[in-house]
Amino acid sequence: MNELLSILTPIETETWMKASWQDFIHLNQQPDYEKGRFYYDRGWMKIEMSPIGIAHARDNQIILTVISLYGAIKQISLEGLVNVSLRKTGIKEVQPDLSYYIGDRRPQLPWHNSPINLDETPPPNLIIEIGSSSFFDDIGRKRLLYEQLEIEEYWVINVAESQVIAFSIQNQGSYQIRESQVLSGLAMALVEEALSRSKTEDDSTITRWLMTTF
């Protein structure tokens, strides 16, 4: 490990810091950071260790429900992944809350517990970060990171406001949208209403409402 990281005990988390790829991989394998989420971007890394609270967990569940149900009703082929690591060896790594392969982009993924190798496998169409403690980083540096990975669409869920900030990504740039392009016809306003309802309604009630809405 480099001199900087070797003298930091423990490693500073929740912030970006300089690190070699070798340092990043070494820390990724340490038991102290087993529950961490790891990000790497050309010589900089971030380890997120904040506990997952009920608001974050609830929003994660609702987004899963909305997308799965929408895909089923609209007959859209999709495959969702929770907290999967996506890696371009030596260059970048991300570990978003939710990732989706949609339609023809859905590959035959190997069945193992290693990160998805983006040198061999196309990136997911849709990436979603549940932004509670990490919200400002999610709409800032991480958005730039996902642009460079050529994700098609990126959502940030603002947990505090039950808000979806969605971006379409093209040519390593992005612009904000209010209707999904990879899940054609799905309005962010509807997703936001589902998030708001989840504060007072249970999953079954929300699912029944979604079924009548879709």
Domains of the chain: 3-48 (no CATH), 54-213 (3.90.1570.10)
- Interval 28-49: pLDDT, tens: 999 999 999 999 999 999 999 9
Q: 5 pLDDT band (50/70/90 cuts)?
A: low
Q: How many helices (H) and strands (E) does the chain have?
A: 7, 12
Please compute the mean of the pLDDT values over residues 56-83 and round it to a whole number. 97
Contact predicate 160/148, CB 8 Å: no
Element at 166 (helix H, strand E): strand 163-170
Position 109 scores a pLDDT of 83
Q: Which of 168, 173, 126, 181 is nearest to 147 (CA)?
A: 173
Give the CA radius of gyration of the chain.
Answer: 18
Confidence of residue 9 (pLDDT cuts 50, 70, 90): low
Question: From the centroid of its chain, how far is CA 55?
Answer: 16
Q: What is the mean pLDDT of the chain?
A: 93
